[in-house]
Amino acid sequence: MSLLKKLAGETVIYGLGNIAGRVLNFIILTPYLTRQFTTGEYGVFSTLYAYAAFLMIVFTYRMETAFFRFASQAEQDDKSSDEAIDTALKPRKKPNTNTFSTATLSLLTTSLLLVSLLIAFAQPIANFIKYPEQKEYIIWFAMIIGFDALSAIPLARLRLESRPIYFVAAKLTGIIVNVIFILFFLEICPKLAETGNALAQAVYSTENRVGLVFVANMMGSAATLLLLLPLYLKTKLVFDKTLWTSMLRYSAPLIAVGLAGMVNEVADRILLQRLLPGTSEYVESQIGIYGACYKFAILMALFTQAFNYAAEPFFFRNANRADAKQVYGQVAQAFTLIGCLAFLGIWLYIDIFKILVHEDYYEGIKIVPVLLLANVCLGLYYNFAIWYKLTDKTHIGAYIAGAGAVVTIALNLALIPLIGYMGSAWATLAAYATMCVLCYLLGQKHYTIVYPIRKMLTYLSIAIALYFVSVPIRATYGGGSWVVYGTNTLILMTFILIIAFIERTVIRDLFNKSD
């Protein structure tokens, strides 16, 4: 139970940091940007950030996960050797140092090379993604991804060493800087330019407003990296070629996992650009609506991401415990319960959340429940996926993620021409559900963990059933009415009471222990 409390505590800290950051992004930037830019212009953001997500996998080549694996292993070896050798005779070296320096030097070298290539070929790339007049977008994104890649290993080290406050501070600072520069470029610069300020006139024009948002993002990424520099400066950088080769061998299949994961997460924006029928203006507008409403699923993704930040190093650190598999099962059950509660809570009060975007985007609200459920499946996949990382069978993880990518592409190709971006939402759910089921079934063969599947499926079934109860009520009385809010509150309380009844023995034990 103490392990679960520690994981929960770290998840809360990561979650608060993510929530604070996303609140700035979602509560301030999303309403602001959806009112500053047309749905078509907002579609440019969605499309370019989709391409950037793929490039981030290439830039980091999952070295942060390899760092978790080998740094944790080095720490365990160090502890074992300390038991055999008197610590007075054996100097205690700080664990993870060689692993950190090797991974860092690897990413530093490749990032410099890849940034240079992107800048050198900016125009051909801009032509390929259908923005031939904006090659500067490629240059700015090259810098953004480069800064983010160089931050990856220091951030991973903070997670492994259970330093979530430093981690959150670095991430949050980057977001705050991003917000400040966006407001500066789009609010202050135009006013200064009107007064004749030469610098403001050089920076701002009505034609480059979209690009200035990317420049602000670049500033935010640079700020995060600056805060992480002490981790670089306090470490003696030594490159261990043998270790590096082992890390690459471990991470290589995870590159396929990451790329396939990005296909599942962001390929829909790219495929919408290619497959939606209609004029280019209509297509960009539809992508903008989809991208803006997709952000409502971020409210669920906050929890999923915070859990993954805390859980991945947690799983590695505790892999050698006798009760590790039992703990992993309890973690998956707890995640399912909270995920279902979040799914219901967000959807039942979606009419409150939707005021965060301009009414031009409201037609896309229908994708929200599908994407919320998809994120529950994704979180369960994160739980189940630990087996192939602990057993070094990362190639099987690549096959699972590849299957998800095939489902994503196939369903997008089939459904986008028929039902537009709604097809992309269903494709996302189908892909994550496929990965979740495959990962669970294969894990039971290679690294058996007894998950309370019956209870987990019960939680999901009840949540989905109550969702369907809410749909006709909302359709009858209209979203945002007090009848709907009151009824949905009763539905949410019903879910909580049913779960309390199912888990009454656990709750009783907890109260008895507190007494």
pLDDT tens-digit map of 416-473: 999 999 999 999 999 999 999 999 999 998 888 889 999 999 999 999 999 999 999 8
Predicted local distance difference test score (pLDDT) of residue 38: 79
Q: Which of 272-286, 307-321, 333-347 has the least mean pLDDT? A: 307-321
Place of tokens 């409210």: 299
The tokens for 191 are 């006013």
The answer to whether residue 341 sits within a structural domain is yes
Place of tokens 């935010």: 220
Question: What is the Cα–Cα distance from 402 to 438, expressed in whole angstroms?
Answer: 11
Predicted local distance difference test score (pLDDT) of residue 121: 95
pLDDT bracket for residue 93 (50, 70, 90): very low
pLDDT over threshold 80, residue 186 = yes
pLDDT over threshold 70, residue 1 = no
> How open is the CA angle 6-12-14, to the nearest 5 degrees?
105
The answer to whether residue 243 sits within a structural domain is yes
The answer to whether residue 337 sits within a structural domain is yes
Question: What is the Cα–Cα distance from 246 to 66, expressed in whole angstroms?
Answer: 9
Residues 127-151 have pLDDT tens digits of 988 888 889 999 999 999 999 999 9
**Ramachandran bin of 480, using left for φ above 0, alpha for ψ from -120 to 50, beta for the remaining angles:** left
Question: What is the Cα–Cα distance from 49 to 62, expressed in whole angstroms?
Answer: 19
| CA 191 from centroid of its chain's CA atoms | 36
pLDDT over threshold 50, residue 90 = no
Question: What is the Cα–Cα distance from 95 to 105, expressed in whole angstroms?
Answer: 17
pLDDT bracket for residue 280 (50, 70, 90): confident
Which range scores top for mean pLDDT: 62-76, 124-138, 141-155, 377-391?
141-155
Predicted local distance difference test score (pLDDT) of residue 112: 95
Q: Residue 474 contacts by C-beta under 8 Å, 6 or more apart in sequence?
A: 484, 488
CA distances from 180 to 32, 48, 183, 194, 356 (A): 13, 21, 5, 20, 19
Q: Residue 393 contacts by C-beta under 8 Å, 6 or more apart in sequence?
A: 387, 446
Alpha-helical (H) ranges within 385-420 are 386-390, 394-419
The answer to whether residue 7 sits within a structural domain is yes
Share of the chain above pLDDT 70, in %: 83
The answer to whether residue 162 sits within a structural domain is yes
pLDDT over threshold 50, residue 193 = yes
Predicted local distance difference test score (pLDDT) of residue 31: 73
Q: What are phi and psi of 391, to 5 degrees?
A: -95, 5
Question: What is the Cα–Cα distance from 237 to 158, expressed in whole angstroms?
Answer: 17
pLDDT bracket for residue 254 (50, 70, 90): confident
Predicted local distance difference test score (pLDDT) of residue 77: 53
The answer to whether residue 137 sits within a structural domain is yes
CA distances from 339 to 10, 161, 192, 202, 432 (A): 17, 26, 47, 48, 14
Give the gyration radius of the chain's Cα atoms.
24
Give the pLDDT mean for 185-201. Answer: 89
pLDDT bracket for residue 389 (50, 70, 90): confident
pLDDT over threshold 90, residue 76 = no
The answer to whether residue 360 sits within a structural domain is yes
Give the pLDDT mean for 83-101. Answer: 51
Question: What is the Cα–Cα distance from 339 to 382, expressed in whole angstroms?
Answer: 13
Predicted local distance difference test score (pLDDT) of residue 142: 94
pLDDT bracket for residue 353 (50, 70, 90): confident
Question: What is the Cα–Cα distance from 346 to 341, expressed in whole angstroms?
Answer: 9
CA distances from 501 to 57, 76, 191, 251, 505 (A): 44, 42, 60, 44, 9
The answer to whether residue 461 sits within a structural domain is no
Q: Residue 29 contacts by C-beta under 8 Å, 6 or more apart in sequence?
A: 179, 182
pLDDT bracket for residue 92 (50, 70, 90): very low
What's the total number of domains in the chain? 1
pLDDT over threshold 80, residue 226 = yes
Predicted local distance difference test score (pLDDT) of residue 88: 34
Residues 239-249 have pLDDT tens digits of 999 999 999 98
Predicted local distance difference test score (pLDDT) of residue 330: 80
Question: What is the Cα–Cα distance from 153 to 157, expressed in whole angstroms?
Answer: 6
The tokens for 281 are 């203006």
Predicted local distance difference test score (pLDDT) of residue 446: 86
Mean pLDDT of the chain: 82
Domain that holds residue 117: 2-449
The tokens for 427 are 């494709």
Rounded to a whole number of angstroms, the distance between the first and last alpha carbons of the chain is 17
Residues 315-345 have pLDDT tens digits of 666 666 777 788 778 888 888 988 899 899 9
pLDDT bracket for residue 292 (50, 70, 90): confident
Predicted local distance difference test score (pLDDT) of residue 81: 42
Predicted local distance difference test score (pLDDT) of residue 84: 38
